[in-house]
Structure 1
Amino acid sequence: MNRLPHVLSAFAGIVLFSFALPGSAVTAATSMTTVTSVGLSPPMNVNSLLPVVNNDSSANAQIISLMFRPLLWIGTNLKINWQQSIAKNINVSPDRRQFTIHLKNWYWSDGRPVTAEDTLACLKLIREYGSRYPNAGMGGIPDIIVHAKVINPLTLQITLKRSVNPDWFELNGLSQLFPVPAWRWKRYSIDTLFKLQDNPDMVSVVDGPYKLQHFTLGRGISFIRNPHYSGKPATLEHLHFKMYTSDSTAFWALRTGTIQAGMIPHYLYAARGMVKDLKTCVSNGGYGFNYVTLNFTNPRVAFFRNVKVRQALALAINQTQIIQIAFHGLGVPSFNPVPTNPDTYLSPEMKKLVANPALAYNPSTAKRLLTEADWEPGPDGIRMHDGQRLQFTMMVPDTSQTLIAVAEMLKADWQAIGVDMRLRVVPFNLELAKLHPHGKWDASMIVWSYDPDYYPSGDGLFNTGGGGNYGDYSNPMMDKMIYDTTEKNGARFLDRYENYAYSQQPVIFLPYPEYVVKYAQNVTHAQLMEGVYSVDCTPQSLH
């Protein structure tokens, strides 16, 4: 997310940012201006205010969460935060098919109670939106639900088609449900709601900590504290977001005091001294992983189907060097689809690799694997097989200079083992448009964020036909292991899946960045955290 000016015209007379003289007291902030996605990604525009019908970008998700609270609030430790959840508790039947959800006494900003009927209305919207719903299939939603009924105004009962792992269904399925003001929206069709998703009139009644005050598409969005919020009152009276779409623009706005919180892009790390007087915390970058997705359906790069080629590509990557050079030491190794930080669901084997990443870096073994796969060095050092060069083109989104730097380092690492990778920097939207099975692309760099699929089971990512399985990877053993994580209780099933993913490399896993977040002296850490989304940010000193 990103920040704004000394004095915002919409809040005439309210001081948003103040400099303290030596020895003087710092007046606590009552307002903060920022940008979207601070500590998570480059800032983005907001183009939707409504749950369900939005495109699920991190910027939209952040803004919506300020106005509408989900049934289950998942903390940055990847556990349910019951204090911030609208649900009070959940009872699970012995056969793990029936979930009875009890709601707290919660209220809309107009004084009406939030009810189980409002939650059921969200599920109905998801069903009506169908395949357009960006999280369709995650946590089994909505097709795994065979029946949902309101028991009483504060109790909703959901019955599933099969027994499930409760952690998986709660963290990945039920976390998608937001009570919506059904009595106001029931007169609109799902297509009409889609058309009205950026209309401020649609969010005049909310149940979150903030109410919308002003929204200008492409310019900015302002919030005021919701005095009728049923949870802990917001720490800020006003919260404003500038719609910058460049992390360098946001950095200079931070430098001049136009915004009170922002992050230092990795490529501007040398300029950190310009904001040395601001407070510092280091973000874990959100719960996700970076990777190179491979197109298994493109005959031009059929060599990706050979596991030895994929293993060689992984073993050739010097993740420690990438972290030190491209991330300026701010990052963590990552060798499988279960994120490293926090390591809540990381297997013991993967924790050992993270602690000693040199174990996963072995160019000599990578060369041997390529030789075993019948790829021999050619005259220029690039490996050949039956007259074909071991060559492919990788798309890199233009949204981050850091990703481009990582791609250049990958190119060098792979060339050292006889692989010719060509870079193609493309607009992010073009990359997304091309990423589908049976397309003509070869490989592409992707950042995956687990939100709302907080339980990293892999469903939708690497199972056959999964919506996020861009390269159409298919492996019956992987399918079984992923299914087991969704059905069976116990960490051992998730451990088996992530260890198998490391051995098979359905994609090529990359290190994950952390980010330096800077914020004004009069902004508390608690206030900062209301202006960021889906990240943990640990206060630190920075030199």
Structure 2
Amino acid sequence: MNVNSLLPVVNNDSSANNQIITLMYRPLLWIGTNLKINWQQSIAKSITVSANGRQYIIHLKPWLWSDGRPVTAQDTLACLRMIQDYGSRYPNAGMGGMPELIKAAVVINRDTLEITLKRSVNPRWFELNGLSQLFPVPSWRWKRYDINQLYKLQDSPSLVSVVDGPYKLKHFTQGRGISFVRNASYSGKPATLKYLHFKMYTSDASAFWALKTGVLQAGMIPHYLFDARWMVKNLQTCISNGGYGFNYVTLNLANPKVAFFREVKVRQALALAVNQKQIIQTAFHGLGVPSFNPVPTSPDTYLSPEMKKLVANPALAYNPGAANKLLADAGWKLGPKGIRIHDGQRLQFTMMVPDTSQTLIAVAELLKADWQAIGVDMRLRVLPFNLELARLQPNGNWDASMIVWSYNPDFYPSGDGLFNTGGGSNYGRYSNPKMDRLIHESTQNKNISYLYKYEDYAYQQQPVIFLPYPEYVVKYSQKLKYKQLMEGVYSVDCKPTLLY
């Protein structure tokens, strides 16, 4: 993937940008693979929460910027002000209540920030989804720029000369590579690796050969090259869950050309026709897990009992016969060439697919075959990932798009920002009063049963079409110990294996 931003908040929220930014700027709260706050890795020392869940007093550790200045509560507040100034352009708008839930934010002293909310909420939700979005930023350096200037300068190395993370930027060439050197002034545990370099490849095959020839010391084996993994026999292997997330096809409910997506029976039919077991076996080579709702399957920390049953027996969610009946009941009759027609309109749409992975394209081809079997004509449009993100705009002229969603920074998977009305990442403009209520209740109440109600309803409604989630073969040099490789990795679980 390409890295095109170095700054928090104003980037496009791609996983590549987030990972790079986190090397230089430590988040206020570090969330571990167990989906809990890792206080040892966090800049925050502790958080005091009022009994009513409205006041949050954040206590910072003694922490330094790379130029020796202290990281302060004012620096944390500056990040919140950036989010507020960025407004609806902020990709995570609405998640964790950011920023509309904030009533007041006040610096108590150099190491203490108090945030007051407009209403009482579930503290775990606000910490994992709201406060997790805050990165202390060098406020004394950036205060000369307004939010629009920061957006224009987001790829400028000069703005990241002072950092508080484990690495400092050494060199950055868009589309080619980005290099880091260990930050000698880092306040946390010193990074094990002195130098870290990421190469950006235009194809999975190029990255594979770089692994094979030793140009890369760590990298992923693409699924479509799984059978050639033995060629990289000089490297160790681990299997990664790819992070805490889910894959889906978002549907543009605001586009009148594909207004049929607004019919729940059409969406349910599309979901019932997806053969997730076949996708896992064919496109992922058996490395993946079924997923039928927006709450990730791996780990299943927040998965409802009903969804766990489906994951254990995915055949229950695959029923092309039922899909055909739903479409027929909705008035879609088989027409020429086996494509369904209703009131003269063909059941046809185009799906954007990012070119970042041949695996995604393979999944799209399998979906095309699954949906053609029930009378749906789906066309594919493969395009660069950043272009796909740029076109996923409100009321944009697109039909559907394949998305890989990572819960970062929204680690409590309540759906705020994703499927609530007006959510910042609600690309298809899905709107349902009951869904809004269930999402709201999951953010209000500590009892996890409210989250279960939301995810079970999402499965019934299919605001998007949920897809299985892949696992990945990661190869790494024997000179890199497994502990070193995984040190500081943000919510990704990778287990050593003897897979060859």
Do they fold alike, i.e. is TM over 0.5? yes
1:508 aligns with 2:465: yes
Paired residue for 1:80?
37
Distance verdict in 2 for CA 1:207–1:438, change over 3 Å: closer
Distance verdict in 2 for CA 1:161–1:332, change over 3 Å: same
C-alpha separation between the residues in 1 aligned to 2:343 and 2:161?
66
Out of 361, 364, 370, the position equivalent to 1:413 is 370
Out of 265, 283, 290, the position equivalent to 2:222 is 265
Out of 120, 140, 156, the position equivalent to 2:113 is 156
Shift of 1:183: 2.6
Counterpart of 1:486 in structure 2: which amino acid?
T
Shift of 1:51: 2.1
C-alpha separation between the residues in 1 aligned to 2:354 and 2:439?
29
User: Which structure 2 residues correspond to residues 322-341 of structure 1 after superposition, within 5 A?
Assistant: 322-341=279-298
C-alpha separation between the residues in 2 aligned to 1:522 and 1:229?
24
Shift of 1:532: 5.7
C-alpha separation between the residues in 1 aligned to 2:16 and 2:342?
46
C-alpha separation between the residues in 2 aligned to 1:539 and 1:169?
34
Paired residue for 1:381?
338
C-alpha separation between the residues in 2 aligned to 1:384 and 1:144?
45
Paired residue for 1:168?
125
- Which range is displaced more, 426-435 or 110-119? 426-435
Paired residue for 1:182?
139
Shift of 1:220: 2.5
C-alpha separation between the residues in 1 aligned to 2:399 and 2:4?
31
Out of 185, 194, 197, the position equivalent to 1:240 is 197
Shift of 1:452: 1.2
Structure 1: 5+ residue stretches without partners:
1-42
User: Which structure 2 residues correspond to residues 228-377 of structure 1 after superposition, within 5 A?
Assistant: 228-377=185-334
Shift of 1:238: 1.5
- Residue by residue, what CA displacement relative to the aligned partner does 1:338-396 show, whole Å, maximum 9, x if unpaired? 11111111111111111111111112222222222222333543333334333322222
Out of 98, 113, 123, the position equivalent to 2:70 is 113
Shift of 1:223: 1.9
1:194 aligns with 2:151: yes
SS at match of 2:18: helix
Paired residue for 2:358?
401
SS at match of 1:101: strand
Contact 1:235–1:526 (8 Å) recurs in 2: no
C-alpha separation between the residues in 1 aligned to 2:185 and 2:380?
52
Contact 2:247–2:467 (8 Å) recurs in 1: yes
Counterpart of 1:457 in structure 2: which amino acid?
S
SS at match of 2:362: helix
Paired residue for 1:227?
184
SS at match of 1:516: strand
C-alpha separation between the residues in 2 aligned to 1:197 and 1:530?
27
User: Which structure 2 residues correspond to residues 140-151 of structure 1 after superposition, within 5 A?
Assistant: 140-151=97-108
Shift of 1:402: 1.2
1:204 aligns with 2:147: no
Contact 1:297–1:472 (8 Å) recurs in 2: yes
Shift of 1:489: 1.7
Paired residue for 1:497?
454
Contact 2:34–2:491 (8 Å) recurs in 1: no
| RMSD of aligned Cα (Å) | 1.9
Distance verdict in 2 for CA 1:181–1:211, change over 3 Å: same
Counterpart of 2:220 in structure 1: which amino acid?
M
Shift of 1:534: 4.4
Task: Please give the TM-score of this superposition, normalised by the length of structure 1.
Answer: 0.88
- Residue by residue, what CA displacement relative to the aligned partner does 1:241-270 show, whole Å, maximum 9, x if unpaired? 223343221111111101100111111112
Contact 1:254–1:261 (8 Å) recurs in 2: yes
Paired residue for 1:477?
434
Shift of 1:533: 5.1
1:446 aligns with 2:403: yes
SS at match of 2:169: strand
- Residue by residue, what CA displacement relative to the aligned partner does 1:494-538 show, whole Å, maximum 9, x if unpaired? 100000000111111111111110001111112222586542211
SS at match of 1:446: strand
Contact 2:204–2:358 (8 Å) recurs in 1: no
Paired residue for 1:61?
18
SS at match of 2:338: coil
Distance verdict in 2 for CA 1:63–1:396, change over 3 Å: closer
Contact 2:95–2:423 (8 Å) recurs in 1: no
SS at match of 1:301: helix
Contact 1:239–1:531 (8 Å) recurs in 2: no
C-alpha separation between the residues in 2 aligned to 1:84 and 1:70?
9
SS at match of 2:419: coil
1:434 aligns with 2:412: no
Contact 2:435–2:457 (8 Å) recurs in 1: yes
1:100 aligns with 2:100: no
1:520 aligns with 2:477: yes
Contact 2:239–2:496 (8 Å) recurs in 1: yes
C-alpha separation between the residues in 1 aligned to 2:42 and 2:91?
23
C-alpha separation between the residues in 1 aligned to 2:173 and 2:376?
48
Distance verdict in 2 for CA 1:374–1:214, change over 3 Å: closer
Contact 1:175–1:452 (8 Å) recurs in 2: yes
- Residue by residue, what CA displacement relative to the aligned partner does 1:76-119 show, whole Å, maximum 9, x if unpaired? 22211111001111111111111011111222223332221221
- Which range is displaced more, 328-337 or 245-254? 245-254
**Structure with max Cα Rg:** 1
